A and B are shown apart, each in its own frame.
Chain A
Amino acid sequence: MIPAAFEYHPATSVDEAIALLSQYGDDAKLLAGGHSLIPTMKLRLAQPAHLIDIGRIPGLSYIREEPGVVAVGALTTYATIERSEVLRRHFALLPECASVIGDPQVRNRGTIGGSISHADPSADMPGAVRALKAEIRVRGPQGERSIAADDFFLGTFTTALEPGEMVTEIRFPLPPERTGSAYMKLANKASHYAVAGCAAVVTLGADGTCTAASVVITGAGTLPTRAAAVEAALLGKKLDEATVAEAASHAAEGLELMEDIHGSKQYRAQMACVMARRAILKAAERAQG
């Protein structure tokens, strides 16, 4: 658990970080909260020769209300998200998700930008970001661009970030009236990552039927996956227990399931359905206000 040698570069601005990234290319890694990268380095699964610390760049940790959007800086920690009144008001799912990540130490260090960039299939935050249909702002040598969360996660530890790019902000569009959201996970009893989790967002019409649903499964599959069949089964329906249970039973469809000592494929598939049912019911309850 002794990492290989590396050179440490504390970046003072996003531009400097990107310049350093361009300079060192594949030999470099950005360091945010360090709570995924440093364990990997200690096990020597990652041996970057250069570590570019973005954790000291000022002005990248914030939760800002803008017209129609809440913008969250890439370096915002889980602890900050967990305690944010603004987020709690608009997207119960986000603080709820942050609150079940790791332990207080992890939540004090880990960042939302680090989590989504790392794209661990068992991580929680990627599911929440995807379910809320966030827009991910990234900056690279070519300048700035936005990536829709649905296009961001490509596979296990793989994202749409190009070499030299860094995430600067995650933008959450404000939801319509009568929208509720929730995150539920079955935690791996050792790491407390998700064996299976579900981030659910539902919007109800005036008559109580579901007018929009966004359901994403974490943990069970090789990447955070949109449960399209579940969403389809919810639309236009009143979200009573039976309807939700039926819809949630499709949660594992389209998942490329993972398997380890904490859960077989069969178990993960079933837990995806259980977590989906619970998250959707909770979201629906919140949507009713």
Chain B
Amino acid sequence: MGIAALVGTPIKRREDPRLITGQATYVDDIKLPGMLYMAVLRSPYGHARIRSINTEAAKQAPGVVAVYTAQDLKGVVGNIPVAAPLPPHITNGMGRRGPLAEGKVRFYGDPVAVVIAESRYGARDALDLIEVDYEPLPAVVDPEKAAQPDAPLLYEEFGTNVAASVRPPTDEIDRVFAETQANGGIVVKQRMVNQRLAPSPMETRGVVAEFRKADRTLTIWSSSQIPHLLRNYLAEQLGLPQHQVRVIVPEVGGGFGCKLNIYPEEALVAFAAMKTGRPVKWIEDRSENLAVTIHGRDQIDYVEVAATREGKITGLKVHVVSDLGAYLQFFTDVIAIAFTLPMICGCYDIPVAYGSCDIVFTNKAPTDAYRGAGRPEAAYLVERAVDLVAHALGKDPAEVRMINFVKPEQFPHKMATGTVYDSGNYQAALEKAMQLIGYQQLRAEQAQKRAQGKLMGIGLSSYVEICGIGPKGLTPFGLYESARVRVDQSGDVLIYTGASPHGQGEETTFAQIAADEFGIPIERVLVIHGDTDSTPEGRGTYGSRTTAVGGTAVYNAVQKLKEKMKQIAAHMLEASPADVTLEDGKFSVAGAPQKAVTFAEVAAAANFSNTLPPGIEPGLETTVFFEPEACTFPFGTHICVVEIDKDTGEVHLTRYVAVDDCGRQLNPLLVAGQIHGGIVQGVGQALFEGVVYDENGQLLTSTFMDYAMPLASELPPFELDHTVTPTPYNPLGVKGVGEAGTIAATPAVAGAVADALGLPHVDMPFTPERIWRIIQQQQAPSQPQA
């Protein structure tokens, strides 16, 4: 341990001063000489045939340089990339699209044409001059209706809207359900809607492209989570060699998964820059962001759970209907199958679990990974299932959780789904949360309030999620991460990470790792990210993987350099490398602490190259790739309290306690920040948010006047604590924390609302009118059955 001992301390984020003083550079801050601006004409219909497009008037408009439609891109720009196309239909092209709609539009906002003009205003004005002759078609927005044989078809040639179905045999789960019931146990069923959400980062998307014709090099600035993947796929889409494409991801104002995608606008801006020979910028406006940037969730889950009278769950059967929207984005088709189904057991040792799934196209925006990506849906349905069991048996939901948890000594544990969890202590987290909130006392208070006719509810969520992807085999390509670490002649450390932090704070945590390992002040460490020309190949930031995978790459690279520095120091000290230790920034000989050289002296020697031992290369630089052998599984318990206004149906969150275990915490302040933001987004889904389309595919939540975001003023202070159960699968012991709060919060609030109303289940979002209607029904004198 070095003098610094920064790992584990809540130091402030190094990136914040530039971010909060407005000195950071986002895509929209990039201004290049001669830059043109792009505006996108989008479908006003949910589903329509394009009879014709007339761009003549737009082309004549002042300041307009070019207008492009799908015709112009044909054979020149490839389809939007999809990471893992599933058989039978997607592998055959179902749901694939070029950057502009051809023949048909399939959702409100589908891009139809673009205008490239001298100004942003001119580009937007010219959109109104493009004439598109549409033939409106019947739309389908409900995935269950879309799966019916008589539904309007998005892709007629496939004869169905169902892209794929997963239907394992049900014999075993049927047997378990029958046995459980024969033995006096229960089977509870519930349909649950996990509604569609708009990720809504503070910074919308944006792209700038510059093409240098002389050497045919393309530079793209994009607000993205995946610079290297974007470069690789975009090069393929445009038919350019990879080395001629450079992607720079400047500051990113939030992604939450929605920027883990390669969107039409990236190729469109690049194409326009290549055609016109001038730089082109496109900045998404908020209306576009709400309409065409991927949405999250949108699952309907049919849950059946069997349990003994004592509350031991014997079997869980889940059928997922996943709404893909109209097209495939990067992970659209696999969210439910690869991330929901493997996690349906949650933290519970359920002997038999069954998961089936239909993934269905509808006339809505594509869905994809949104903070949690499939795991929030899994956590929601299993937490609700446990509550259903508790409700049916009249037991406390905490007790049912305790009975069913995987026990600490069972790890690593293979779940009934086949997923292997690394480590955990679920009971400890639940107990700590109960203690923190004063659970027994709360229940007493609740009983008292009920007696006064007040509606108070307590909700628990003991979540587990999957992070740190990923080991080979999970996706079609390796999800490693990389780090190039250089110690320069002055003793400064430069970390080039292939991961692409965009607000989470790895400029701080990665520097903490290196500073501690080298025993030098953090001020001597710089973290560089987001430029494919300077950083080694990386896979990007998502799935709470950056620290577990990218941080480990940094750690491993530092270890390699330490070894080399020890050899050089040993030579300088005329000692054996085995006897040299590095502590507090000094290399010294064991047993003779006065014989020492400093970190900076060794760095100078290595780079100056005059005192190197034979066989040692000059320089101090190494690149390390790290591919984890297994995933990590953070967990915890959140408990919250709600009070419901009986007159209006408004739900007020009055207390919120979170105990999270993300393994070792490199920086508790950043962990708390992630948990705070995560909880807000999870609460947002439960109480406020929901993307709504009408039956024609018109988007009704196209501005923040109608799409309700959670506000600080509507939330109580969060009471946070943690447990620490390191993962054995990386040397840092870290698991991941970026999505935990979101995953945990939604079922906690849902549990509290159902509890307050005394119901087994209520569908989200818990908007005032929805809750008011339930209360009205409950208060109505029971009608005799007609």
Interface residues of A (CB under 8 A from B): 1-2, 4-5, 43, 186, 188-191, 193, 195, 260-264, 267, 270-271, 274
Known contacts: A1-B287, A2-B124, A271-B648. The answer to whether A261 contacts B772 by CB under 8 A is: no
Are B120 and A2 closer than 8 Å at their CB atoms? yes
Interface residue? B705 (CB, 8 A): yes
CA of A188 to CA of B706 in the docked complex: distance in angstroms?
8
Give the nearest-CB partner of B688 in chain A.
A189
Report which of B120, B648, B704, B767 forms a contact with A191, defined as CB distance below 8 A.
B704
Interface residue? B405 (CB, 8 A): no
Interface residue? B286 (CB, 8 A): yes
Interface residue? B673 (CB, 8 A): no
Interface residue? B137 (CB, 8 A): no
Give the nearest-CB partner of B706 in chain A.
A190
Known contacts: A189-B768, A261-B701, A264-B769. The answer to whether A274 contacts B121 by CB under 8 A is: no
Are A190 and B705 closer than 8 Å at their CB atoms? yes
Say how far A103's CB is from chain B's closest CB, in angstroms: 8
CA of A5 to CA of B121 in the docked complex: distance in angstroms?
8
Of B700, B709, B768, which is in contact with the most chain A CB atoms at under 10 Å from its CB? B768
Residues of chain B within 8 A (CB-CB) of A271 are: 648
Interface residue? B708 (CB, 8 A): yes
CA of A55 to CA of B767 in the docked complex: distance in angstroms?
38
Residues of chain A within 8 A (CB-CB) of B650 are: 186
Are B647 and A274 closer than 8 Å at their CB atoms? yes
Are B120 and A190 closer than 8 Å at their CB atoms? no
Report which of A1, A188, A261 forms a contact with B286, defined as CB distance below 8 A.
A1
Are A190 and B769 closer than 8 Å at their CB atoms? no
CA of A191 to CA of B700 in the docked complex: distance in angstroms?
14
Are B700 and A261 closer than 8 Å at their CB atoms? yes
Of A2, A262, A270, which is in contact with the most chain B CB atoms at under 10 Å from its CB? A2
Are A274 and B285 closer than 8 Å at their CB atoms? no
Give the nearest-CB partner of A189 in chain B.
B708
Report which of B39, B287, B767, B772 forms a contact with A189, defined as CB distance below 8 A.
B767
CA of A261 to CA of B687 in the docked complex: distance in angstroms?
15
Q: Which of B400-438 touch A at CB < 8 Å?
A: none
Are B285 and A1 closer than 8 Å at their CB atoms? yes
Report which of B705, B706, B709, B772 forms a contact with A270, defined as CB distance below 8 A.
B772
Of the A-B pairs whose beta carbons lie under 8 Å apart in the complex, a sample of 29, sorted by A's number, is: A1-B285, A1-B286, A2-B120, A2-B121, A2-B285, A4-B125, A5-B121, A43-B703, A186-B650, A186-B768, A189-B687, A189-B688, A189-B708, A189-B768, A190-B688, A190-B706, A190-B707, A190-B709, A191-B706, A261-B692, A261-B700, A261-B706, A262-B767, A262-B769, A263-B769, A267-B768, A267-B769, A267-B772, A271-B648
Are B700 and A190 closer than 8 Å at their CB atoms? no
Are B125 and A274 closer than 8 Å at their CB atoms? no
Q: Which secondary structure dominates where chain B touches chain A?
A: loop
Say how far A81's CB is from chain B's closest CB, in angstroms: 20
Residues of chain A within 8 A (CB-CB) of B120 are: 2
CA of A191 to CA of B125 in the docked complex: distance in angstroms?
28
Residues of chain A within 8 A (CB-CB) of B692 are: 261
CA of A111 to CA of B630 in the docked complex: distance in angstroms?
59
CA of A263 to CA of B773 in the docked complex: distance in angstroms?
11
Are A43 and B708 closer than 8 Å at their CB atoms? no
Q: Mark B626-653, 1 if CB is under 8 A from A, else 0.
A: 0000000000000000000001101000
CA of A195 to CA of B650 in the docked complex: distance in angstroms?
12
Known contacts: A1-B287, A186-B648, A261-B692. The answer to whether A191 contacts B124 by CB under 8 A is: no
Chain B contributes a number of interface residues (CB within 8 A of A) equal to 28
Known contacts: A2-B120, A264-B769. The answer to whether A191 contacts B705 by CB under 8 A is: yes
Q: Mark B675-718, 1 if CB is under 8 A from A, else 0.
A: 00000000000011000100000001101111111000000000
Residues of chain B within 8 A (CB-CB) of A274 are: 647-648
CA of A264 to CA of B776 in the docked complex: distance in angstroms?
14
5 closest cross-chain pairs (CB), A and B: A190-B708, A1-B285, A2-B124, A189-B708, A191-B705
Say how far A247's CB is from chain B's closest CB, in angstroms: 16
CA of A270 to CA of B692 in the docked complex: distance in angstroms?
24
Give the nearest-CB partner of A273 in chain B.
B647
Of B286, B648, B692, B703, which is in contact with the most chain A CB atoms at under 10 Å from its CB? B648
Say how far B540's CB is from chain A's closest CB, in angstroms: 29
Residues of chain B within 8 A (CB-CB) of A4 are: 125
CA of A191 to CA of B703 in the docked complex: distance in angstroms?
9
Residues of chain A within 8 A (CB-CB) of B285 are: 1-2
Give the nearest-CB partner of A191 in chain B.
B705
Give the nearest-CB partner of A274 in chain B.
B647
CA of A260 to CA of B692 in the docked complex: distance in angstroms?
11
CA of A2 to CA of B688 in the docked complex: distance in angstroms?
28
Q: Mark B172-184, 1 if CB is under 8 A from A, else 0.
A: 0000000000000
Say how far A19's CB is from chain B's closest CB, in angstroms: 28
Say how far A189's CB is from chain B's closest CB, in angstroms: 4
Say how far B126's CB is from chain A's closest CB, in angstroms: 11
Residues of chain B within 8 A (CB-CB) of A263 are: 768-769
Q: Which of B176-233 touch A at CB < 8 Å?
A: none
Q: Which of B435-469 touch A at CB < 8 Å?
A: none
Q: Mark B117-159, 1 if CB is under 8 A from A, else 0.
A: 0001100110000000000000000000000000000000000
CA of A191 to CA of B688 in the docked complex: distance in angstroms?
12
CA of A145 to CA of B767 in the docked complex: distance in angstroms?
45
CA of A186 to CA of B767 in the docked complex: distance in angstroms?
12
CA of A235 to CA of B241 in the docked complex: distance in angstroms?
83
CA of A189 to CA of B769 in the docked complex: distance in angstroms?
11
CA of A195 to CA of B708 in the docked complex: distance in angstroms?
14
Say how far A198's CB is from chain B's closest CB, in angstroms: 13
CA of A176 to CA of B647 in the docked complex: distance in angstroms?
32
Give the nearest-CB partner of A278 in chain B.
B647
CA of A274 to CA of B646 in the docked complex: distance in angstroms?
10
Say how far A234's CB is from chain B's closest CB, in angstroms: 19
Of B120, B706, B708, B769, which is in contact with the most chain A CB atoms at under 10 Å from its CB? B769
**Knowing that A190-B709, A261-B706, A267-B769 are A-B contacts, what are 7 other residue pairs whose CB atoms are under 8 Å apart, sorted by A's residue number?**
A1-B286, A189-B768, A190-B704, A260-B706, A267-B768, A271-B648, A274-B648
Are B287 and A43 closer than 8 Å at their CB atoms? yes
Of B124, B286, B688, B709, which is in contact with the most chain A CB atoms at under 10 Å from its CB? B124
Residues of chain B within 8 A (CB-CB) of A186 are: 648, 650, 768
Say how far A183's CB is from chain B's closest CB, in angstroms: 16
